[in-house]
Amino acid sequence: MLHLLGLSAATVPTGPYSSTTRHFTVKTLDASNQVVDVTFPTGAAAAGKQFPLISYTHGLSDHGEASYPKLFSDLASWGYVIAATNSCQEGCFHDCKTLPDDPPCFGNYYKESFKVIEWARSPAAASLPINNTAGVAVAGHSMGGQAALLAAADATARTEYGIKAAVMHHAYTHTYPSISEVPFLACTGTADATAPPAMAEKFFSAASVSRKGLINVRGANHHEPTTDYRPELALFTAAWIKLYVDGVESSEGMSWRGLIYGTGTDSVCGGGDGQMAECTMLPKASEPEATPTPTAVEESFYPDEARLIASPSPSPSPSPAEEPPQRAAVRWTI
C-alpha cells in the first residue's frame, strides 16, 4: 500500500499530468552528441503552470529519453521537466578525463548536467514550462549516477546551479567525494552485478550532508531504470525531490514525507518499495537536521582545477578486497 492522503492503492500511482517529449540541440554540450531530450507535463492540467527541472544523465551506451521513456513520463506526471543529454554515450571524448578504474572519458561527464541547467535558463528554452526559480534536481543512472554524484559534490552545485537535491540510480563509481550540502538519495539493488551496492554504500558513508538516503532493494538489478523498469523508482525519486526542491511535504493527494520518512508499510523502508536489504533515511525522526561542521579541508578530486571542498575526513578509497569480483570484465558494458 502506498502512502496516500486518505486513500489506498494496490498499484504504484502516477501523477495528474500527461507528458510529451521534445528534442533540442545545445551547442555547448560535448560534440559527441548535442541533443537534449526534454519530457514535460502537458495537457489541460498543466496549462499555464511551470515545473522544476530535473537534469538527468544516462548510463554508458544509453541514450536520453529513448532509454528511459517510462521513468521520464512517470516523473513528469508528478510535475517535473526532465532534460536528458544524449552526449557522452561512450565517454566525453571532446572533454576527456578518466577517473581511476572507470571507463575512459567520463570524469567530466557531470559538467554536461551543468550545461543543461544553464541552457534551461536561457532564452533557447523559453518555450518550455520550466520554473527556473524553484531550484533544480540532478539525477542519473550508472555512469550518469556517478555524474549526479560528482555534480552534487561540486562546490558550485548550489550557488551557481541551484541544485537542491540529487538522486543516484545504480551509480557506477570508484570515486567517493563527500557531498556536504545537497540532500541526496542513493538507489541500488542486490541483483546489481555491474554497480554493486558497495559503491552506493561508500559514497553514502563519505557524505557529510545530514539529509541523505540509501535504499538497497532485494532483487533490483542494474537495469531497474531502463529495460527492467520498476515504477516504484520514479515514485520515491519524485518523493525525495518534492521534499527538497519543491519544499512540500504533501501534494496531489500524496504524503511525500510519509513515503520517505514514514514507518508504515507504504513507506520506502517499510515495504512500499519492496523488500529491502538495507534502507536508511537520515535524519531519523528523533534527530535534528543539523548542518555538520567540517573538521578538515581536502583538495578536490578534480586534480586539474583549483577547487577546494570541505570534508570531515579524506574521501575513502575502495580496498582491493571490496572490488566487484568481475568488475574488469563488465566495466565497459555499464
Are 32 and 40 within 8 A, CB to CB? no
> Backbone phi, then psi, for 286, in 5-degree steps?
-85, 0
Q: Reply yes or no: is the peptide bond before residue 283 cis, omega within 30 of 0.
A: yes
In whole angstroms, give the CA distance from residue 123 to residue 133. Answer: 15
Torsion of CA 274, 277, 283, 286, to 10 degrees: 90
Domain ranges (residues) in the chain = 18-330
CB–CB of 67/226 below 8 Å?
yes
Q: Are 246 and 239 in contact (CB under 8 A)?
A: no
Alpha carbons 220 and 197: distance in angstroms, whole number: 11
Q: Which CATH superfamily is domain 18-330 in?
A: Alpha/Beta hydrolase fold, catalytic domain (3.40.50.1820)
pLDDT in tens, the chain (334 residues): 344 432 333 489 999 999 999 999 999 999 999 999 999 999 999 999 999 999 999 999 999 999 999 999 999 999 999 999 999 999 999 999 999 999 999 999 999 999 999 999 999 999 999 999 999 999 999 999 999 999 999 999 999 999 999 999 999 999 999 999 999 999 999 999 999 999 999 999 999 999 999 999 999 999 999 999 999 999 999 999 999 999 999 999 999 999 999 999 899 999 999 999 999 999 975 555 444 433 333 333 333 333 323 333 333 333 333 333 333 333 343 4
* Pair 215, 236: CB distance under 8 Å: yes
CA proximity to 105, closest of 116, 89, 118, 117: 89
Amino acid at 204: F
